[in-house]
Homo-oligomer: A and B are copies of this chain.
Amino acid sequence: MRLTKRFIVLGVAMLLITSLFQPVIGQQTLKDVKKARGLNDADVLAAAKTFMPRGGRDEYFAFLGTGNSGTMVVYGIPSMRIYKYVGVFSPEPWQGYGFDDESSLMIKKGSLDDRIESYGDMRYPALAETNGLYNGKYLFYSDGANSRIALLGLDDFETKQVIAHPLFINCFPGVAVTQNTEYVIQSSQYPSPWDSKAADIENEFDTKFKSGITFWKFQDPQEATASGHHIGRMIKEESFTLELPPFTLDYFDAGRKGSDGLMVGVADKANHHYIYIVDYNKLAGLKTRKVNGAKVVSYIDAIDAGAVAMIEIPAHASKVKVTPDGKYFITAGDEAFVFDFTKVKDAMANKTYSSDKAAGGIPIIEAANVQHGTMKLGNDVIDIAFEYRPDVVYASLFNDKKVVRWNYESLKKEDEIKLDFKPGQLMVPQGLSAEPHSNYLAVVDKEGLNDNFASVGPVRPSFQHLIDISSDDMTDLYTMSIPQANIYGSVAVLRTTIKPIIRYKLGTNTRTGEISKYKTVAGQEKVERKGNRVHIFGTLIRSHIVPEIVEVNEGDIVTFHLTNLERAEDETHGFTIDTYGKHGSFEPGKTASLTFTADRPGVFPYYCTEFCSALHLEMEGILLIKPKGYKEVKQEELVLTKEELEGYKKNYEDKLVVINQTQDIINGVVQWLKDNNYQDYPYVKALVEDAVDQLNKAATTKEYYEKYAKEGKWKDAFLWAEQYWQYQVKAADAGLRAKKLLSEKLGKQ
C-alpha cells in the first residue's frame, strides 16, 4: 500500500504529530469507528436515525422563534441541519432584505414613525391553518421589542408584510392563529400607557397603564397575483383590539373544533395569577372607538357581553395550550391544571362567577367548577406539548432536568426522561395543530454546558435536542446548536405540506407578487434620465451584468432596477456597488431596485456577489460618477494588436471544438430520454424543460458568436462562444440529472 510505505519511511520522529490526525490505513469497519470515536450501540442507533442518506429528504420543516435575532431559522427534522435564515424584523444582507427598495419600503411601512428598527424579539411563531391543520402557506411572528407583526410566505420563504402595532409599546413575542386563520392574535406583554403617553408607574399604574389583545383580520386571497403567487394580508382596518387593565400577559392559544371562537392566555397582576378566556366572535360584534387609527373594544363592554372572564391559578404559569381535540386547555406551573372548555363556556353563558373580581371588574370563574382535574408534575414547568396518541402530553421540568409524558384525561404519569440539561420549550411536529405527529420531540437547552459541544467563548448558541418519542421509551437522539438565536418556541410542519417554488415569473416584485414595472428583458436594457433622476433598467445572466458601464453625475439620484433573467434552479445573482453600501440578491426571475444618491465622485466597480458559475468573476461592470467640471476624454477606437487578435481566434476555435463535443453529449441524452418516454415522469419532465430552456436561451448567443466570427471580431466571438458553452453545460447538466433520475425510476443502471 502506497501510503503505508510512505509513513514507514517518515519514521518515529513523526509519531507525535501523526497522532494528532490519526491517519487510517485501509477501510474501517463500524466496530473500528465505534472504538475510535467512543460510540456505544445507542449512539450508532441515534446516528442512523438522524443521518440523511443521498437522495433522502427530511420529514419536517421546523421554524424557530429566535428571540432577539429578528430572523427566522428553518431546519430539517430528523437531520437537524439548518436550511435557511430569513430576515423578518432584522435586515439580512445575504438575501438583500432591508437593502433593496422593495423590502426596505415594506419594513419602513411597518415601522413606527418611519424608523426602521434593525432587530426584533420573536419567540413563538404560528403557522397558518385550515380546519385546524397547518396548510403550509404562511407563517406569522410577533416582535416583542419593537411592537410589530410579520407575515411570511412559504412558497418562497420570504417576509411579505410587516405592520407596526398602533397601540402597544411592548408586545408578547408570540402569536396564535384561529383554526381557519380568520385572525392572527397578538397581545401586549408588559403594561404601559398606549399612544406614547407618559404616566407614573407608582401612582398611575391602574389608571393609565393598559394591556390588550389584538385580533388581526387575515385574508388569504382566492386570486393569485400577476406573478402567480397567493400572498395573504393582515387587514389593519378590519382588525380590532380588546383593551384590558394593566395585566402582564404571557403565552396564549386559540381554541379549535368545539372551542373555536375562544382564546385563552396567561395573565398576571401583582401577586395574582390568571388564565383569561376571551370570546373573540362576541367581541367582533361590539362597538369600537378609534385610538391612533385602531379599533378598540373596551373591557367594560366585553364584560357586559360575556366575552371575557378569568380563572385564578395559584402560581404563575409559563404556558396555556389547547388540546388537539379542542376539548381542554392545560396550564402548568409546578402543578398542571386541565380545564374543560364546555364547563367554561357554560359558566360564561350562565355567569356562574366568583364573588371576587379581577382588575377592572373582570369576572372570575372558580377553577374548581371548570376543571377536569389537576396533577402535580414537578418543579418549574416551562412548556407543554401534545402528540397524536390520544390524551398524551409532555411537560418540561426546568429545575428537575426532565421531560414527563403524562395523560391529561386520566391525569397519570406515563413515563419520563432524565436529561443532562434544564429543558426549556418543547415542540412536537404539527404539535400546535389538530393533528400532532408522534415521532419526535424537540427540546430547547439554553446552556449547553455538559453535552457534546466545544466552547466558543462567553456566549453560546441555544441547543435543540431531538428526542425520539415514537416508542414507549423516550431517547435523546441528537443535539444541534443554533447560532445567532435565543430559541424559544418553534413549530414544525410535514415537509410535503409546503410547496416551494423553484423560480419566479420573470419580473416579479417578490414582496407584492406583482410584476414590477421595472421588469427588463434581454436587449431592452437602458438608462433613463430626467433632470438629476437616473433610472437604470438592467439585467443579470451568467456571466453578464447589462449595462456594463454606467455614467452619472455627482449629485444624481440613481436607481438600478435589475432583473435576473435566469430560469435555472438556484441561479441567484448578487449585485453590489463597491463602497456605496448598495446591495441586492436576485433569484431567478426577480426584479428589485437599489436607489442611492451619487454623492461621491469616482469609479465604482459593481459585480455579482454570488458564485454563479466558473466565470463568476467576469460578471462585473463600472459605475462612473463624474464630478462637477469633469472633462470627457476624446473617444478613440480601442484596437487589439494582431497578436491579441490571433490569441482570441485560437481561443474561439478551441471553444468550438468543446461546444461540438458537448452537443454530442446532449444529443445522446436527448435521444435516450425520448426513447424512455421521459414526458411521463413529472419531475424528469421538469428537468428536461429546464434544459431546453437553457438551450433556447443559448440560440441568440450562437447567432452572436457566428456573426462576430464572420466579421473577424475574434474577441467578441470568443466571449459569446464561451457564453454559449456555459448555457450548453447547464443544459447538459440538467439533461444528465434527468437521465439519472429516470434510470433510477426504471430500475436500470
Contacts and interface: CB of A to CB of B under 8 A. Distances in A.
A69 B636 CA distance: 41
Contacts of A271: 644, 647-648, 651, 715
A607 B635 CA distance: 64
Nearest to A472: B3
Contact of A630 (B198, B447, B504): B198
Contacts of A43: 48, 51, 53
A245 interface: no
A450 to B, nearest CB: 5
Interface in A378-431: 380, 382, 388-390, 398-399, 414, 420, 422, 424, 429
A509 interface: no
Contacts of A70: 93
Interface string A40-76: 1101111111111111111001000011111101101
Given A54-B452, A202-B635, A614-B382, A68 B583 contact: yes
A563 interface: no
A369 B581 CA distance: 46
Interface stretch (A302-310, A341-349, A475-483, A666-674): A475-483
A147 interface: yes
Contacts of A189: 605
A45 B33 contact: yes
Contact of A452 (B55, B198, B471, B485): B55
Contact of A609 (B46, B54, B67): B67
B68 A624 contact: no
Interface residues of A, number: 205
Nearest to A46: B51
A600 B114 CA distance: 13
A724 to B, nearest CB: 15
Given A23-B438, A67-B609, A201 B603 contact: yes
Contacts of A502: 455, 458
A639 interface: no
Contact of A56 (B38, B190, B420): B38
Given A94-B69, A461-B84, A737-B449, A203 B634 contact: yes
Given A203-B636, A578-B147, A447 B28 contact: no
Contacts of A255: none
Contacts of A38: 53, 55-56
A146 B605 CA distance: 11
Contacts of A455: 500, 502
A169 B201 contact: no
A526 interface: no
Contacts of A53: 37-40, 43, 452
B624 A452 contact: no
B2 A472 contact: yes
Interface in A456-505: 456-461, 470-473, 478-486, 488, 494-495, 500-504
Given A34-B48, A37-B48, A192 B388 contact: no
Residue from A91, A158, A201, A458 with most neighbouring chain B CB atoms (10 Å): A458
A6 B451 CA distance: 35
Contacts of A12: none
A115 interface: yes
A614 B115 CA distance: 33
A145 B576 contact: yes
Interface string A149-172: 000000111100000000001100
B61 A454 contact: yes
A190 B94 contact: no
Interface in A114-165: 115, 117-121, 144-147, 155-158
B146 A119 contact: no
Interface stretch (A14-22, A213-221, A324-332, A692-700): A14-22
Contacts of A501: 457-458
A490 to B, nearest CB: 13
A610 B67 contact: yes
B607 A470 contact: no
Given A486-B574, A729-B399, A30 B48 contact: yes
Contacts of A716: none
A483 B83 contact: yes
B51 A47 contact: yes
A76 B450 contact: no
A555 to B, nearest CB: 13
Interface stretch (A536-544, A584-592, A704-712): A584-592
A92 interface: yes
A198 B158 CA distance: 39
B68 A576 contact: yes
B83 A454 contact: yes
A516 interface: no
Contacts of A472: 1-3, 25-26
Contact of A450 (B23, B500, B588, B740): B740
A187 to B, nearest CB: 14
A61 to B, nearest CB: 7
A19 B479 CA distance: 27
Contacts of A482: 82
Nearest to A458: B587
A40 B51 CA distance: 11
A250 interface: yes
A479 B414 CA distance: 38
Contacts of A45: 28-30, 33
B193 A457 contact: no
A275 to B, nearest CB: 16
Residue from A193, A473, A483 with most neighbouring chain B CB atoms (10 Å): A483
Contact of A614 (B147, B380, B429): B380
A356 B135 CA distance: 69
Given A48-B47, A602-B192, A201 B579 contact: no
Contacts of A450: 737, 740-741
A190 B633 CA distance: 21
A224 interface: no
A605 B170 contact: yes
A504 B630 CA distance: 54
A675 interface: no
A570 B459 contact: yes
Nearest to A564: B458
B486 A609 contact: yes
Given A21-B470, A22-B470, A458-B572, 7 more contacts: A37-B53, A37-B56, A54-B451, A83-B461, A169-B603, A199-B603, A271-B648
23 contacts: A23-B388, A27-B473, A30-B45, A43-B48, A44-B48, A47-B47, A57-B452, A61-B456, A67-B611, A68-B576, A81-B480, A84-B461, A93-B118, A117-B579, A119-B576, A121-B576, A146-B578, A380-B614, A455-B502, A458-B590, A459-B572, A460-B570, A486-B574
